Amino acid sequence: MFHWDNGLKLTRADLAVDFRHRQPRAFISHAHADHIARHEYTLCTPQTARLVHLRLGPRPTLELPYRRPIEWGGLRLTTFPAGHCLGSAMLLAEDADGRSLLYTGDFKLGPSATAEPAELPSAETLIIESTYGGPTYRLPPRQQAIQRLIELVRGTLDAGAVPVVHAYILGKSQEVTRLLTDHDIPVLQHRHIYRVSQVYEQCGVRLGRYGLFGSDAPSGWALVVPPRWHADEQLGRTVDIAVTGWAVDPAVRYRWKVDHAVPLSDHADFDQLIEAVERVAPRQVYCTHGPESFVDRLAERGFDARPLGRPAQRRLF
């Protein structure tokens, strides 16, 4: 049902999937920069369409709302929530001969403050993004990470300093904002983050009491900024906190130049990746973006698993 041509393509529909360079027809699973390009014609969820248009300008797009199948290019195509960020989708493709393929894109199982929880339909062939496919990438329980974030931010405010939370612009920043405002901590956002947050709000995802950061922060407010942003001196004393799944690696504190790092992820960790494969119960699994050893871990569990595409690169998200 698919082949590899510098990227994943659904053969019958001649549909490129998450290509980073322009294609005649492409499906975009979500609006992170490493999954989008200025395609001639795009298929994606309505929420992803808004985010892509924000980044790349208006483009010809066919919107695929979750769980509403369409017949397209000889296939039946259906999107399902991927639990990763606003609009993130898995794509299920089924052909007239009863074959089925599920492409996960970036995904996460379990709850999220700002993304619909992932749904996993079963499929004969699974193509899975296995970013955290090494067993060292086991994340602590989500509640524990959230509690740590709130404690750090509250402690900073109580000490009269400004908490500066570093998070990726699309997805993590909005989730962090919602977690803080749910705990009665108002948030000022960097302008790049604020633009994306407005799309969240337009799509019905409420982020609570937040605003646009100008140059200083009133006492009692937290700042949410892109990774490695530097405060200027007029902000006074700051405590910098990174929120990223990579925080399971202690070196992230030095790489991001922050005081603390909280391991809250919008990617499935190793255990969730295994769980996802078990739930989809495919006949074949193809792994992308993760370490090759993940293929071996699946084979040990009795799955017919193979790597897909070029050797894995460690990729920030």
Which residue stretch of 29-37, 54-62, 174-182, 290-298 sits at the interface with Zn ion (rule: CB under 5 A)? 29-37
CB of 106 to Zn ion, least distance (A): 4
Phi, psi of 198 (to 5 degrees): -65, -35
CA distances from 19 to 5, 28, 54, 118, 130 (A): 10, 8, 18, 22, 17
Query: Structure tokens of 97?
Result: 């001969």
Distance CA 222, CA 239 (A): 10
Question: CA end-to-end span of the chain, whole Å?
Answer: 28
Task: Tell me which residues in 233-292 interact with Zn ion (CB under 5 A).
Answer: none
Residue with tokens 């405010």: 157
Count the neighbouring beta carbons within 10 Å of the beta carbon of residue 182: 13
CB of 218 to Zn ion, least distance (A): 33
Q: Does the protein bind Zn ion through residue 106 (CB under 5 A)?
A: yes
Binds Zn ion by CB under 5 A, chosen from 9, 32, 108, 190? 32
Comparison of 181 and 244: residue with beta carbon closer to Zn ion: 244
CB of 29 to Zn ion, least distance (A): 8
Comparison of 213 and 317: residue with beta carbon closer to Zn ion: 317
Comparison of 7 and 186: residue with beta carbon closer to Zn ion: 7
Task: Tell me which residues in 171-210 interact with Zn ion (CB under 5 A).
Answer: none
Please name every residue paired with 288 in a beta bridge, in sequence order, or none if there are none. Answer: 129
Distance CA 265, CA 248 (A): 10
Comparison of 94 and 129: residue with beta carbon closer to Zn ion: 129
Count interface residues toward Zn ion (CB under 5 A). 3
Comparison of 163 and 245: residue with beta carbon closer to Zn ion: 245
Distance CA 44, CA 30 (A): 8
Residue with tokens 């699973």: 29
Comparison of 80 and 317: residue with beta carbon closer to Zn ion: 317
Distance CA 216, CA 185 (A): 16
Query: What x/- string results for residues 108 through 147 when contact with Zn ion is judged by CB under 5 A?
Result: ----------------------------------------
- Footprint of Zn ion (CB under 5 A): 32, 106, 317
